Amino acid sequence: MMNHAGKSGAFARAFGALGLLLSVAATASCASGTPDAAKPENGEPASGGSAAKELQAEFVTGEGPKTIAEAKGKVVIVDFWATYCDPCRKSFPKYQELVDQFGGDLAVIAVSVDEPGDVSPEKIKEFAKETNVKFAVVWDKEHKTSKDYNPEKMPTSFVLDKEGNIRHTHAGYETGEEEKIAAEVKELLGK
């Protein structure tokens, strides 16, 4: 017969294993890309050199351009993300640092692909607040923009030149990714 301390130790181990499984599942779902409803018909991600399609998403929070048209004349990072995505939580503050570094020459528009049944505008605002970002955050509730861009995984960012053409794509986020993006932004700004 197991004593009370043995039962609680077994419970703690089982609960810890469950937490690890949930963490792995969340990370795997984050890397798996957009929901099936968001897959484009041709199955190909938006490619470098092509004109970026206009965003069809609802503004939620933040400052700066909310559409490609509003951002004309700036280098733009269109970042597809989700509230369940841990790498997204790491990338957001780095993108804000880039906006601060390049001043008015760079805009970030963060496009949430969260399902309407899973989040609310308040939850998206809370994510932006927790990650200390000020750039525009929009919500692609109907996955129209996701279908146009077909991000490979969460997060995926598209770097656009001042004319609104896709020049670089970053599928996923790892520490140091912001340095690559900063170099691309400098090149596109001619600095």
Which tokens hold the place of 65? 């351009």
Among the listed residues 139, 125, 135, the one whose alpha carbon sits nearest the alpha carbon of residue 57: 139
Would you call 31 exposed, middle or buried from its count of C-beta atoms within 10 A (0-12, 13-18, 19+)?
middle
| 30 classed as catalytic | no
Which residue type does 168 have? H
The bridge status of strand 156-160 relative to strand 136-139 is unpaired
- Cis check for the bond before 155: say yes or no (omega within 30 of 0): yes
Cα–Cα distance between 66 and 138 in angstroms, integer? 7
| 88 classed as catalytic | yes
Q: Which residues sit opposite 58 in a β-bridge?
A: 139
Which tokens hold the place of 84? 């369940």
Contact in structure between 123 and 115 (CB atoms under 8 Å)? no
Given the residues 88, 113, 136, 185, select the one marked as catalytic. Answer: 88
Given the residues 57, 85, 128, 160, select the one marked as catalytic. Answer: 85
Would you call 190 exposed, middle or buried from its count of C-beta atoms within 10 A (0-12, 13-18, 19+)?
exposed
| Residues noted as catalytic | 85, 88
